[in-house]
Amino acid sequence: MAEAVTFPGTEMPVIEKYPGSRRLDHPNFGDVYKTTFAKGVITDFQQIQDDPIQLDLVKVEIEGVGESEFIPFFFHPKELYWDGEEDLAQGFDEEKGCFNRAWMSFRVGDEVAVMLKEGVPVGVVGFADGVPRVGEDVVKLETQSLHTPWDFEDWQYPDYPARIGANWPDAFVRMNKADFHDAGEKGPDDLDLKLLLEADRYDGPEETTGIQQIVSPEGTWTTGGPIDIDHDAPWGTHEYAEGDIYCETCGILYWETGSALLTKIALWTIKVGPLLYAIYGKFRESYNKSIAYIDRSPGPEFVGTLTRITHTYNITRLCVKAGIYREGMEEEIAATLDAYPDWNYLGGLSAPNWWPVEVEGMKLQTDLTALLSYLCAFDAKSFDEVKWFARPHTKAELQEADMWPAGKDE
The predicted-structure confidence for 315-338, as pLDDT tens digits, reads as follows 878 889 999 999 899 999 999 998
The amino acid occupying position 82 is W
Res. 138 pLDDT band, cuts 50 70 90:
very high
CATH class for the region spanning 14-127: mainly beta
Per-residue exposure over 54-66, b if at least 16 CB sit within 10 Å of its own CB, e if not: bbbbbbbebeeee
| pTM (two decimals) | 0.85
Q: What is the pLDDT of residues 31-56, one digit of tens each?
A: 888 999 999 999 999 999 999 998 98
- Residue 15, CA atoms < 13 Å, CB-side half-sphere: 9
Give the chain's length: 410
Going from N- to C-terminal start, the domains of the chain cover 14-127, 197-400
Q: How do 275-296 and 302-324 pair as beta strands?
A: antiparallel
pLDDT in tens, 225-257: 778 888 887 776 555 555 444 444 556 677 788
Among 294, 293, 346, CA closest to 319: 346
**Is 1 a residue whose pLDDT tops 50?**
no
**What are the residues whose beta carbons fall under 8 Å from the beta carbon of 72, sequence distance 6 or more?**
7, 8, 57, 58, 96, 97, 98, 123, 124
Strands 200-215 and 250-272: antiparallel
Check if the beta carbon of residue 205 is closer than 8 Å to that of residue 355: no
* Residue 386 scores a pLDDT above 50: yes
* pLDDT category of residue 304 using cuts at 50, 70 and 90: low
- The Cα–Cα gap between 84 and 55 comes to 13
Percent of the chain with pLDDT over 70: 79
pLDDT of res. 228:
84
Report how far residue 175's alpha carbon sits from residue 77's, in angstroms, rounded to the nearest whole number.
17
For 130: left if phi > 0, alpha if psi spans -120 to 50, otherwise beta; the answer is: left
Structure-model confidence comparison of residues 373 and 242, the more confident one: 373
The pLDDT assigned to 196 comes to 95
